[in-house]
Chains A and B, each alone.
Chain A
């Protein structure tokens, strides 16, 4: 719902104005651990920003893209992926993917000409896939040359209701959830760039992850009351990617809007947002009785788990208007840090 919500989400202008005019020199150790936070900003307001957090020193740097490049990041920073010591930031409504140096945050290149990109996934040094919304194609790009080299057409998908979203790879197969006005998981052969199988799940699978047993997890949001695409109880699914069959399904209450399936570094515990933050063993037969962390009555919008020490980070969009906040908890649920970032923090990316 996030992107569509923003169509009418209301925005305040009068936000902070940075007026550096100069490129700031960052130089972070290449070996240092770090967490990037994509702050989407308000749709159509061009106020997306990038934040950088050092989990060891507990320091946060905001607006690092602007400060390093003396250039705004753009409109709706949707996600970031690291490959080959470069950060690839997908800026949805600016139709661009920026590549930055991970130590200086300086731009080293960009891929343009994208429709409405959401995520980038690297197949090799010379090939990556870019998913889109409001487009029925997954774009194939050459990240070395920053060029679009082809498309994978998704069958039975119109441009208007087009949505391909998160990507997870196992061997030569890539799995993609189709979210907005969709209900499918795609299986793509990355050698031939063709869709070889599809699996229908519930209404609007929001996210995708793979656990230590090689099983796929997705959670649907169930649509919304009055949606032309339907409205049902959302559910969490465990899927066998080999056979593309549903192994387990955990239903939620109608009206719930779960999202953001994430795994810890070991891949044995799954986390997701459903107003509260929930955690569950990947072999569990039931959703636990109590959430991992209770809601604060605000809008939990992003979630990640430190792959090393399993700390849980939650992005709170608060009200979609003011700068959002990130809360850091231990695996045991103790709050260890909290810090302000940019407007509508959504996606995280571990360095």
Chain B
């Protein structure tokens, strides 16, 4: 805006033109954080004029050009006023301060000890930037390969420090993993359990199995029950007793290392309860709806932590907060996402849910024709009556149960990404690995890894169904997630699904040996995402739960 006026000087009438600011690029400047940007517009009639640059009302400069040091990411508005005796001109400019696009890189792998001759493909996960990025690998400081992955081989015994580096014009980052190679006979024996306390009901099978087992070649396992050898020789034990008491179980694993016998022992207690002792009968004011959420442990996923469509606040830093989130969402009939494979949600009821004829539990999902993301439903009785979901889970058998392509005891370990905006890498217990992709265009929260999981990696176990999703277009634009026959949550089944509600029957419960188990009632329900698959740009398949209730016929 130019304000011109005439003035009278030395009795001669002259018109001194007012100054004008001529902006380049519309007055928008772009700079990376930590760098300087120079705002130097062109001027007309600015000889002898005064310059005043203001940010937020404060004068920051009185020169013709202003140099701004970009300290933090964001937008800064700068107002420039140029004035002379005749008039003035004012323009507003904007400085967009962008984050430096320093690449981030991850190797999703824990340090490991392996046998000489071990070979594997090691892949890095790199956050994409607009800058050209070079990726290279080194082993013990020596560059060995370029690109996103390379095949490592432990040719001889020793320690291999493997480094992946990503480098672009803004900076570089690297990640390291250490692989120790030893002779096969010297491999360390790992035999670990998640718990030492088990509970079960009289007459039912209970599996006592390690959560980690490796280097078990040549190891002997001996099991004792209440001081007597059981004769079992496997690394796990199927426990079954009619005796209502606390039992003591001991396993001893032994191996000769050279001439030295090495042994590891674990002692467990198994509390056996009479069936139905703690059954809570339905009362007049009992609700058919779930009464509370016990645990919400999703796998990483595009909706996990999503502030816009996922309803998260970003403050979910504890399991209590995550549970409160899930509980509130479900009460509103809103969806709760379980993320990729293995993610789960546990709900309880204010009474024991009876096993009636036909379906007993209704689970509302968001499936529709062409979009099924099946979750396996597990049930538990509060066998010890302590109100906690610390008893035995029984899987509800569905149509895929017992098929060769269904994997039991499938376990996936997810690794927290090293930087915001990155895919989450995972490894499974079958030698597979992959990523839960970061879908920048759709879900922009920093991390898809649950914020309330403190550990930098966590493992989810369960039964995995074969993925059946496919691209109907042939070019990646139209993905179909077909339904499975019956017996799953969030599955658009033609037999047990109506209006996105799946009906589950407690009579389909099976135990750890695959035998049917008769449960007259249950107290807790667990829904667990049962596929590990991605549908291109739609991202990972993920079971969604919108409601859990008892079916009263």
Residue of A nearest to B364 (CB): A13
| B439 CB contacts on chain A under 8 angstroms | 224-226
CA distance A165 to B308 in the complex (A): 27
Among candidates B335, B472, B474, residue contacting A10 with C-beta atoms closer than 8 Å: B335
- The contact string, 1 if C-beta is below 8 Å from chain B, for chain A 306-327, is 0000000000000111000000
Binds B, one of A22-30, A56-64, A284-292: A284-292
Among candidates B28, B128, B333, residue contacting A12 with C-beta atoms closer than 8 Å: B333
CA distance A216 to B140 in the complex (A): 61
CA distance A289 to B21 in the complex (A): 15
| A7 CB contacts on chain B under 8 angstroms | 371, 479, 538
Q: If the complex has contacts A10-B366, A285-B26, are A255 and B500 also in contact, measured as CB distance less than 8 A?
A: no
Q: With an 8 A cutoff between CB atoms, is B332 at the interface?
A: yes
Q: With an 8 A cutoff between CB atoms, is B194 at the interface?
A: no
- The contact string, 1 if C-beta is below 8 Å from chain A, for chain B 471-489, is 0111111110000000000
CA distance A287 to B441 in the complex (A): 23
Least Cβ–Cβ distance between A114 and chain B, in angstroms:
19
Q: Quick check: A289 and B128 within 8 Å, CB to CB?
A: no
Least Cβ–Cβ distance between B241 and chain A, in angstroms:
45
Q: Quick check: B366 and A11 within 8 Å, CB to CB?
A: yes
**B interface residue count range (under 10 / 10 to 19 / 20 to 34 / 35 or more):** 35 or more
CA distance A320 to B456 in the complex (A): 32
CA distance A253 to B98 in the complex (A): 11
Which chain A residues (210-262) contact chain B, with CB distance < 8 Å?
Answer: 223-229, 231, 253-255, 257
Among candidates B28, B303, B333, B474, residue contacting A160 with C-beta atoms closer than 8 Å: B474
Least Cβ–Cβ distance between B89 and chain A, in angstroms:
15
Residue of A nearest to B309 (CB): A319
- The contact string, 1 if C-beta is below 8 Å from chain A, for chain B 85-105, is 000000011101000000000
Q: If the complex has contacts A160-B473, A227-B537, A289-B92, are A11 and B309 also in contact, measured as CB distance less than 8 A?
A: no
Least Cβ–Cβ distance between B268 and chain A, in angstroms:
42
Least Cβ–Cβ distance between A78 and chain B, in angstroms:
18
CA distance A13 to B369 in the complex (A): 15
CA distance A224 to B441 in the complex (A): 5
| B366 CB contacts on chain A under 8 angstroms | 10-13
Q: With an 8 A cutoff between CB atoms, is A298 at the interface?
A: yes
| B77 CB contacts on chain A under 8 angstroms | 289-290
Q: Quick check: B308 and A298 within 8 Å, CB to CB?
A: yes
**A interface residue count range (under 10 / 10 to 19 / 20 to 34 / 35 or more):** 35 or more
- The contact string, 1 if C-beta is below 8 Å from chain A, for chain B 433-449, is 00001011110000000
Q: With an 8 A cutoff between CB atoms, is A8 at the interface?
A: yes
Q: With an 8 A cutoff between CB atoms, is A181 at the interface?
A: yes
| A171 CB contacts on chain B under 8 angstroms | none
CA distance A65 to B477 in the complex (A): 33
Residue of A nearest to B98 (CB): A253
Q: With an 8 A cutoff between CB atoms, is B375 at the interface?
A: no
Q: With an 8 A cutoff between CB atoms, is A299 at the interface?
A: yes
- The contact string, 1 if C-beta is below 8 Å from chain B, for chain A 1-39, is 100110111111110000000000000000000000000
A residues whose Cβ falls under 8 Å from a Cβ of B: 1, 4-5, 7-14, 43-45, 160-161, 181, 223-229, 231, 253-255, 257, 285-290, 297-299, 319-321
Known: A44-B371, A289-B27, A289-B77. 6 other contacts (CB 8 A): A10-B335, A43-B368, A160-B472, A181-B477, A224-B440, A289-B26
